[in-house]
Amino acid sequence: MKLAVLGSGKIVQEFLPIIKDLPGIQVKAILGTKRSQEKTEKLQGEYGIDESYTDIDECLQSDAFDTVYVAVPNHLHYGFAKKALEAGKHVICEKPFTLKHAELLDLEQLALKNDLILVEAITNQYLTNYQGIKEASKKIGKLKIIECNYSQYSSRYDAFKEGTILPAFNPKMGGGALMDINIYNIHLVVGLLGKPQRVQYFANIEREIDTSGMLILDYGEVKVVCIGAKDSEATIRSTIQGTEGSVIVNGPTNMLESYSTQTLAGEIKTFDHKDHPHRMYDEFKLFTQVIENKDMTFVKKQLEHSKIVMEIVEAAINDAGIVLG
Ligand SMILES: NC(=O)c1ccc[n+]([C@@H]2O[C@H](COP(=O)([O-])OP(=O)(O)OC[C@H]3O[C@@H](n4cnc5c(N)ncnc54)[C@H](OP(=O)(O)O)[C@@H]3O)[C@@H](O)[C@H]2O)c1
């Protein structure tokens, strides 16, 4: 895969160091803004990237790469992904895929029409521990309750309270606890149970954005609560409860550090099947193969998953009366 990285922020700086372990990926271009051109060019030099841009349209004219990794703030995902597909590039897009369900449908239509790969970079779906969690969940009897809690006090929350609104808290940029952090819980649950029957979101709103909230997903016989908070903290953990035992996901739902099974008698066993210490390794390794093999079956299957997540997100955002974008 010949890749252009769109963005030069936090996640890109985490991603570039693992490229050395992914021989199927060659990073050919990087895009940043004019205001942070120096930072982008520093990354370009450090990682031996041929091309550097500050304008998306100019970047997409290059034929040095076949795929883009969209890693800009949330509100730009749709526009950048659309332009890339129109330029004939495959797209790997950071979470949340888009701000609106209809935008994802539009991207899907464009990708399928042009036989291009379009996938969401959502770490938990591709981690080996997730396969283990799925298998373990089938062995605890009838599922009843799932509780995911990803609460992490954000250093950006202090700035936010003082009136400096960084992208992660900016409604215009698609920020908020649901989009930024709780979305990993949603992906974890949708990967297990699919589409819920009902969605409700009880959010703590400050300056028109959710700084924390509880999302209720009703699956009929299974009830789910997904908690995401950036204004307070708790032990980050998820539990999947069945009539014959439970599965405990240790740590954040974007990392799935390890998981434990617990029987009704209280016997606990802990597992960890990581292939690589970095959470982004598995997804990019797989995406490389998907692009190489033009695996549209995989793309369609994963888009079904992402569309359910976007439907939930949209229902939740509307339920809480939040306006994004
Ligand atoms: N941080 C994480 O741990 C993490 C994890 C998973 C997913 N993500 C997702 O990754 C995306 C980026 O997050 P981040 O934390 O890396 O954000 P970030 O640190 O704010 O980085 C965003 C990058 O996009 C650049 N950018 C903004 N507008 C642009 C434009 N018009 N053209 C070109 N570049 C532009 C920014 O440039 P400036 O520096 O000049 O603003 C910056 O380099 C988000 O969608 C987020 O949900 C983040």
Atom of ligand 1 nearest to the CA of 54: 33
Q: How far is the centre of ligand 1, averaged over its atoms, from the C-alpha of 161 (Å)?
A: 21
pLDDT-based confidence at residue 325 (cuts at 50, 70, 90):
very high
The finding on whether 72 has its CB within 6 A of some atom of ligand 1 is yes
Q: For residue range 280-304, what is the model confidence (pLDDT) as tens digits?
A: 999 999 999 999 999 999 999 999 9
Q: How far is the centre of ligand 1, averaged over its atoms, from the C-alpha of 133 (Å)?
A: 30
Angle at 268 between CA 138 and CA 237, to 5 degrees: 75
What's the predicted TM-score (pTM) here? 0.98
Question: Which residue minimizes the CA distance to atom 29 of ligand 1?
Answer: 33
Q: Is the pLDDT of residue 185 over 90?
A: yes
Question: Which residue minimizes the CA distance to atom 3 of ligand 1?
Answer: 11
The full DSSP string for 75-139 is: GGHHHHHHHHHHTT-EEEEESSS-SSHHHHHHHHHHHHHTT--EEEE-GGGG-HHHHHHHHHHTT
The finding on whether 10 has its CB within 6 A of some atom of ligand 1 is yes
The CA distance from 191 to 308, in Å, is 10
The CA distance from 144 to 36, in Å, is 49
The CA distance from 105 to 109, in Å, is 6
Q: For residue range 18-42, what is the model confidence (pLDDT) as tens digits?
A: 999 999 999 999 999 999 999 999 9
Q: What is the pLDDT of residue 56?
A: 98
Q: For residue range 41-81, what is the model confidence (pLDDT) as tens digits?
A: 999 999 999 999 999 999 999 999 999 999 999 999 999 99
The finding on whether 95 has its CB within 6 A of some atom of ligand 1 is yes
**Mean pLDDT over residues 258-277, rounded?**
96
Task: Give me the percent of the chain exceeding a pLDDT of 70.
Answer: 100
Tell me the CB-side half-sphere exposure of residue 83, using CA atoms within 13 A.
Answer: 16
Domains of the chain, CATH where assigned: 2-124 (3.40.50.720), 126-280+309-319 (3.30.360.10)
Q: Is the pLDDT of residue 275 over 90?
A: no
Instruction: List own/partner pairs for 44-51 with CB under 8 A and 24 or more apart.
Output: 46/16, 47/16, 47/19, 49/5, 51/4
Judge if the upstream peptide bond of residue 96 is cis by omega within 30 degrees of 0. Answer: yes
